[in-house]
Amino acid sequence: MNRTDAITEIISYMSSIKRAVYGRAYRCQDGSRLTTSQLGVLFGIKHHEPISAQDLSTHLAITAGAVSQTIDSLLESGLIERTPREDSRRTFNLSLSVGGAQKLSEIEQEHYAMIEQTTTDLTDEELTLFVSLLQKILLAVQTDKNIHTAERSAEITNA
């Protein structure tokens, strides 16, 4: 297999794995369902809380309108809370509610169980190599993202 074919395969497999993981994850134990967008916003809030909607849209690389719409549905369902920021009357911080933290915990447990089950055929050495490769890819993607973000900021400043 040449490099181009291998990269095409990687993209295809990563997309399929993401859909499979998210497809399972948002069917919660209590029978409720979360959309992929809601799940992404919940995880984004968890990893950066407290966070403003604007900062969340930047971290998730989605429009402010999409974040706002998703936030409204999560507030309505009681999975997140909005509190005024001390430094601004018009900006609010978002954080998980107790129920939202519980739901994410359930989803994380489902993720772990699924990955554990799907990797049982890998040897310890294969699993270690897989983790190492994923770390290397993530670092490259994050570095590339930071370079592109800096380039975009410079373009905006110079415009």
pLDDT tens string 19-52: 777 666 566 556 667 888 888 899 999 999 899 9
Helix axes 53-60 and 64-76, enclosed angle (nearest 10): 120
What is the predicted pLDDT for the residue at 14?
87
For the domain 3-118, what is the CATH code?
Answer: 1.10.10.10
Query: b vs e for 46-68, b when ≥16 Cβ sit within 10 Å of the residue's Cβ?
Result: beeeebbbebbbeebebeeeebe
CA 116, CA 105: separation in Å to the nearest integer? 16
Percentage with pLDDT > 70 across the chain: 83
Residues counted in the chain: 159
> Domain residue spans in the chain?
3-118
What is the predicted pLDDT for the residue at 18?
79
Which bin fits 78, alpha (ψ -120 to 50), beta or left (φ > 0)? Answer: left
pTM: 0.68
The encoded tokens of residue 61 equal 């690389």
pLDDT tens string 59-97: 888 898 999 999 999 999 899 999 988 887 788 999 999
pLDDT band at 149 (very low <50, low <70, confident <90, very high): low
Average the pLDDT over 119-123 and give the result: 95
The encoded tokens of residue 89 equal 């009357």
